[in-house]
């Protein structure tokens, strides 16, 4: 049994990538010659394994199981969902992170089988692994991105990694599983898919006489090619999916060197270049190639190429201008989309903070007044719990819609997080801001699917910038304090 605890702990560290957890024990682990078992660079894994398998046998507790206190602390405190699951699928041990992720108390989760928390269509693959592992046919770990049913009834995304532990006689004992919350990652993935789909729709609306393709890098994996590529190059789009540099094969030998230099130079993020194409029949076309990098958080995430046939320059000039305009609009929409909250359409916290910083600097330079309004939905958790998350989402969307109707073009609405929102009223003093809040009121209606309406209450904090405001964080904190003072 001691060996099983050893194996469990090693697997715990491997599954979570958490060798760093061992560092906490380093102060008490001293080798025979008095030297610590950890060097300045971090953990000495061989020394740790030596200690692990040769340490004194732990005491036997009341339930006749061997408990290693260091293993227990690591299991309970690691910031990743961990579980022991018996051979029938019942949870027999869970840590705090897993309970928080799934919304259950520990005693509730220990009464459940993982099958009860799994989507039926995702269950079979796990059962196949279990049967194979118990039969000794599968000896490796099992990994799967799947959904778990939260205690509140909604589904949450996670990455599961599980392995079957065996005793010294090679008899199966239980499964050790790590369950990593990837809900935010999935949400971001969905946003990217929506952005890519929007770009695809825009590009498809462009004439087939313009070739457009989207890739991860200048010569990276091709993600999308429009029908114009076939018309100009005379190659099928699949050629570019298979080999991202295939289009270079038809560039005139006197021009291809310059184009390759543009593509290979990491300092060149955007370029425009005229060159010639020579097709299989020997006919020459003059084309204009525009390459643009799309950035998020100052990092390049996509590269868009657009190529137009300029052989008939006069006829094509207007089309080129229009196409470039549409592409720029697509970039602008993508960038704007990344600054918005995906549910409500309000500015996200980062984008709103930029507006707040601008207002702060205007006050410092020109004493231009501005007011920050902090808004919180009253008892929002009760709304979610009693009426469901769909109603809760409607409440958030409805509030932002009302705020957008009341503000001016120079003002801004942002989602601070959860059920908290902020409104920046530029060039507004305390009296004007109070009038704005009066027009908003202290509650607003939300229409249910049944046609009925419910009134949702809000609390508001108002803080007009003054000389004693030291920075943006201070300003936000003052407005937040005023809002909670109103909740009182």
pLDDT tens for residues 30-59? Answer: 333 333 333 333 333 333 333 443 444 444
Helix (H) or strand (E) holding 426: strand 420-426
Helix (H) or strand (E) holding 14: helix 2-16
Render pLDDT for 423-473 as a digit per residue (tens, 0 to 9): 999 999 989 999 999 999 999 999 888 888 999 999 999 999 999 999 999
pLDDT at position 68 is 55
pLDDT at position 316 is 59
Reduce the DSSP state of residue 59 to 3 states and report it: coil
Q: Provide the sign of the torsion angle of the four alpha carbons 101, 105, 111, 116, taken in this order.
A: negative
Q: Provide the sign of the torsion angle of the four alpha carbons 294, 295, 300, 301, taken in this order.
A: negative
pLDDT at position 36 is 36
Sequence-separated (6 or more) residues with CB below 8 Å from residue 29: 36, 37, 38, 47, 48, 51
**173 DSSP 8-state letter:** E
**Structure tokens belonging to residue 57:** 């046998």
- What is the average pLDDT value for the chain, to the nearest integer? 82
Render pLDDT for 326-340 as a digit per residue (tens, 0 to 9): 888 888 888 878 899
Reduce the DSSP state of residue 254 to 3 states and report it: coil
Average pLDDT rounded to a whole number, residues 291-304: 88
pLDDT at position 403 is 95
**Tokens 């470039």, residue located:** 324
Which domains does the chain show, CATH number per domain? 2-182 (3.30.450.20), 187-338 (3.30.450.20), 349-487 (3.30.70.270)
Average pLDDT rounded to a whole number, residues 374-378: 94
The residue among 285 and 6 whose pLDDT is bigger is: 285
pLDDT at position 55 is 45
pLDDT at position 219 is 87
Average pLDDT rounded to a whole number, residues 350-372: 94
**Tokens 């009066």, residue located:** 438
Burial track 119-128 (b if 16+ CB lie within 10 A, e otherwise)? eeeeeeebee
The residue among 408 and 30 whose pLDDT is bigger is: 408
**pLDDT tier for residue 380 given thresholds of 50, 70 and 90:** very high
Render pLDDT for 178-217 as a digit per residue (tens, 0 to 9): 999 998 888 888 887 887 777 667 666 665 678 888 898 8
Helix (H) or strand (E) holding 385: helix 380-387
pLDDT at position 328 is 87
């Amino acid at each position: 049994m001691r060996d099983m605890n050893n194996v469990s702990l090693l697997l715990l560290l491997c599954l979570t990538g958490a060798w760093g957890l061992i560092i906490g024990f380093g102060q008490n682990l001293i080798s025979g010659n008095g030297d610590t078992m950890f060097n300045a660079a971090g953990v000495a894994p061989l020394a740790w394994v030596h200690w692990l398998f040769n340490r004194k046998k732990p005491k036997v507790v009341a339930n006749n199981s061997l408990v290693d206190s260091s293993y227990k602390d690591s299991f309970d405190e690691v910031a990743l969902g961990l579980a022991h699951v018996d051979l029938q699928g019942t949870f027999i041990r869970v840590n705090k992170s897993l309970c928080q992720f799934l919304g259950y108390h520990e005693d509730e989760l220990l009464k459940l089988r993982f099958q009860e928390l799994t989507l039926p269509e995702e269950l079979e693959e796990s059962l196949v692994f279990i049967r194979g592992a118990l039969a000794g046919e599968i000896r490796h770990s099992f990994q799967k991105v799947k959904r778990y049913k939260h205690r509140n009834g909604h589904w949450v995304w996670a990455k599961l990694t599980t392995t079957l532990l065996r005793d010294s006689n090679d008899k199966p004992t239980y499964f050790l599983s790590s369950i990593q919350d990837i809900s935010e990652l999935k949400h971001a993935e969905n946003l990217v898919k929506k952005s890519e789909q929007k770009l695809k729709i825009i590009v498809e609306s462009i004439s087939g006489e313009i070739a457009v393709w989207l890739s991860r890098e200048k010569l990276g994996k091709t993600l999308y090619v429009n029908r114009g590529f076939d018309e100009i190059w005379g190659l099928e789009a699949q050629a570019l999916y298979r080999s991202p540099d295939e289009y270079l094969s038809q560039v005139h030998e006197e021009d291809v060197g310059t184009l390759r230099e543009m593509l290979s130079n990491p300092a060149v993020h955007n370029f425009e270049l005229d060159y010639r194409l020579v097709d299989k029949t020997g006919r020459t076309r003059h084309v204009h190639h525009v390459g643009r990098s799309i950035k998020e958080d100052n990092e390049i995430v996509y590269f868009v190429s657009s190529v137009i046939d300029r052989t008939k320059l006069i006829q094509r000039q207007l089309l080129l201008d229009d196409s470039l305009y549409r592409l720029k609009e697509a970039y602008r929409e993508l960038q704007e989309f990344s600054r918005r909250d995906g549910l409500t359409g309000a500015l996200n916290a980062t984008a709103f903070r930029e507006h707040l910083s601008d207002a702060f600097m205007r006050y410092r330079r020109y004493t231009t007044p501005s007011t920050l309004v902090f808004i919180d939905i009253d008892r929002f958790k009760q709304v979610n719990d009693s009426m469901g998350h769909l109603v809760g989402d409607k409440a958030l969307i409805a509030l932002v819609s009302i705020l957008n109707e009341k503000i001016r073009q120079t003002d801004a609405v942002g989602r601070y997080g959860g059920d908290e929102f902020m409104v920046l009223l530029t060039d507004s003093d305390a009296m004007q801001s109070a009038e704005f809040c009066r027009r908003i009121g202290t509650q607003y209606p939300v229409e249910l699917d049944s046609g009925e309406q419910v009134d949702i209450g809000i609390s508001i904090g108002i803080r007009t910038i003054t000389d004693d405001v030291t920075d943006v964080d201070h300003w936000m904190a003052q407005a937040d304090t005023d809002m909670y003072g109103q909740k009182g």
